[in-house]
């Protein structure tokens, strides 16, 4: 088996190198250091892109997920399949042929955001909208009702065509997003649950909500999933919130929006509303905050985080306006609703997050396009820090932050607005690189598949992951 594996790997490498040489000879990879976007706003549904990032497929949302309120959300990948969350459930796509993706199954299970993660034959689903019970036939219910349910659901996806619901766990304030951390000896899975916005009238979301929830899912008996810890991250309450110098509101910290784990480095990065946090997870049930940072000038809402491959940097996103505002314009400028790039300096318990620069889409979007920094992942290029990222109706951007102080865009792809006269919430919720292609979950337009063919990212075409969860970052490299 070993010789066959290496022979196949060598064949793939040689084929890729041959293709690279041929395309280089045709001038495909002659590109400037940075990509300047075309002036002007594209028309409704018009697609514009750089020469090195092109669409190869789209599957529109299918019934019953084809309504305007059925937002497409996050993506996880397993066995050549993309699993895309939706406010009304989730969809499993076969993307082994990226040019001809197909729907394998759809599960109707309302309870936004329905962010997803996969581990082996298990799918984890986040529910952050109060429901009448934990079933997939539940109805909306006011969160102030003591009977209301929010939390995580666990599905068996050993048969991708027939997912099976096996467990649920209620968590305080629901589960807006979640992050997986494998347990020791692969016997269990720890699910770190992010939630926020407590209020005195909410029986299952009481202030102060200064913590996260950790659910343990036994891999042999996932039906026995249970809440095992609720570690406090902000004993002092975190950022108190307030008003930034330009008059916009800054969120107070009352929980976390998103956590990203780098298990090999035993690190977790927390985007926690008003705080950016670096966390030691060598003891998974007792995470320890190493360093916290705030940006009380430009950041409004710390939304998500991405490590570089070396584990020496973190990119935090600022979801100014909650994803529903047109912030990619001259009014908000280049440092609001942007990414913040932080280097990790020092060692051990003395590590610190040091701010280096901001990155934001270089071209202004229309006033009827919701646009702000959102979910992305690394493009696996050894020795460089390159990221693909969603910007809602700002589309998809590929940018290089190898020089932390001077990030630069190298590719882009986007659609024009959904309407000429009004702002309809839409665009790319998540854009991730998986096995040679970029997959974008569009809130209204379904699944887009993009081919990134640029000389700076070509080595990524050779990197393969059977399973990929962007919020549980794997390490990549040539072995």
Q: What average pLDDT does range 424-433 have in this prediction?
A: 98
Average pLDDT of the chain, as a whole number: 92
- Residue 196's domain spans which residues? 73-230
pLDDT reported for residue 477? 80
Higher-confidence position of 365 and 22: 365
pLDDT reported for residue 35? 53
What does the alpha-carbon distance between residue 291 and residue 269 come to, in Å, rounded to a whole number? Answer: 10
225 lies in a domain?
A: yes
Q: Which two tokens stand for residue 434?
A: 């998986």
pLDDT reported for residue 29? 36
24 lies in a domain?
A: no
* Lowest mean per-residue pLDDT among 31-40, 237-246, 373-382: 31-40
pLDDT above 50: residue 175: yes
Based on the number of CB atoms within 10 Å of its own CB, is 355 exposed (0-12), middle (13-18) or buried (19 or more)?
middle
What does the alpha-carbon distance between residue 64 and residue 56 come to, in Å, rounded to a whole number? Answer: 25
| Residue 437, beta-bridge partner list | 434
What does the alpha-carbon distance between residue 75 and residue 447 come to, in Å, rounded to a whole number? Answer: 10
Predicted model pTM: 0.92
Question: How does pLDDT run across 310-355, given as a tens digit for each residue?
Answer: 999 999 999 999 999 999 999 999 999 999 999 999 999 999 999 9
Q: What average pLDDT does range 43-62 have in this prediction?
A: 97
Confidence tier at 21 by pLDDT (50, 70, 90): very low
262 lies in a domain?
A: no
**Number of domains composing the chain:** 1
pLDDT reported for residue 16? 46
383 lies in a domain?
A: no
320 lies in a domain?
A: no
pLDDT reported for residue 266? 97
| Residue 105, beta-bridge partner list | 92
Neighbours of 199 (CB within 10 A): 13
122 lies in a domain?
A: yes
Confidence tier at 40 by pLDDT (50, 70, 90): low
pLDDT reported for residue 12? 44
422 lies in a domain?
A: no
pLDDT above 50: residue 473: yes
Question: How does pLDDT run across 374-410, given as a tens digit for each residue?
Answer: 999 999 999 999 999 999 999 999 999 999 999 999 9
Confidence tier at 3 by pLDDT (50, 70, 90): very low
* DSSP states of 384-445: S-EEEEE-BTT-EEEEE-SSTTS-EEEEEEEE--S-SSS----SEEEEEEETTEEEEEETTT
pLDDT above 70: residue 22: no
222 lies in a domain?
A: yes
pLDDT above 60: residue 18: no
């Amino acid at each position: 088996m070993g010789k066959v594996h290496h022979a196949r790997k060598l064949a793939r490498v040689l084929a890729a190198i041959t293709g690279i040489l041929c395309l280089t000879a045709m001038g495909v990879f002659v590109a400037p250091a940075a990509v300047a976007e075309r002036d002007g706003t594209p028309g409704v549904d018009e697609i514009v892109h750089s020469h090195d990032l092109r669409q190869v497929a789209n599957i529109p949302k299918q019934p019953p997920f084809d309504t305007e309120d059925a937002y497409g959300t996050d993506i996880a990948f397993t066995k050549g399949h993309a699993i895309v969350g939706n406010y009304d459930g989730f969809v499993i796509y076969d993307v082994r042929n990226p040019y001809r993706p197909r729907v394998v199954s759809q599960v109707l299970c309302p309870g936004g955001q329905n962010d997803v993660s996969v581990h082996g034959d298990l799918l984890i689903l986040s529910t952050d909208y109060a429901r009448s019970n934990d079933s997939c036939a539940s109805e909306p219910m006011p969160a102030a009702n003591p009977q209301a349910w929010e939390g995580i659901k666990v599905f068996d996806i050993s048969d991708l065509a027939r997912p099976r619901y096996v467990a649920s766990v209620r968590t305080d304030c629901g589960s807006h997003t979640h992050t997986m951390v494998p347990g020791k000896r692969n016997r269990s899975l720890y699910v770190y649950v992010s939630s926020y916005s407590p209020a005195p009238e909410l029986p299952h979301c009481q202030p102060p909500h200064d913590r996260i929830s950790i659910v343990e899912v036994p891999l042999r008996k996932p039906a026995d999933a249970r809440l095992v810890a609720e570690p406090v991250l902000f004993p002092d309450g975190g950022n108190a919130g307030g008003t930034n110098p330009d008059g916009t509101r800054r969120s107070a910290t009352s929980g976390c929006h998103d956590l990203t784990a780098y298990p090999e480095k035993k690190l977790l990065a927390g985007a926690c509303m008003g705080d950016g946090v670096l966390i030691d997870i060598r003891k998974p049930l007792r995470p320890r905050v190493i360093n916290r940072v705030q940006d009380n000038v430009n950041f409004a809402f710390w939304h998500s985080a991405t490590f570089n491959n070396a584990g020496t940097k973190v990119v935090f996103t600022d979801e100014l306006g909650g994803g529903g505002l047109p912030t990619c314009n001259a009014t908000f400028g280049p440092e609001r609703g942007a990414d913040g790039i932080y280097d990790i300096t020092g060692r051990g318990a003395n590590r610190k997050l040091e701010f280096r620069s901001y990155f934001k889409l270089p071209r202004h979007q229309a006033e009827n396009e919701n646009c702000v920094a959102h979910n992305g992942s690394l493009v696996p290029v050894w020795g460089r820090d390159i990221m693909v990222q969603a910007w809602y109706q700002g589309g998809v951007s590929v940018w290089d932050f190898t020089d932390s102080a001077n990030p630069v865009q190298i590719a882009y792809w986007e659609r024009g607005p959904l309407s000429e006269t009004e702002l309809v919430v839409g665009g790319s919720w998540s854009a991730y690189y998986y096995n040679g292609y970029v997959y974008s979950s569009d809130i209204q337009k379904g699944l887009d598949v993009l081919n990134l063919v640029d000389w700076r990212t070509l080595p990524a075409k050779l990197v393969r992951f059977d399973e990929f969860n962007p919020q549980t970052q794997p390490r990549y490299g040539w072995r």
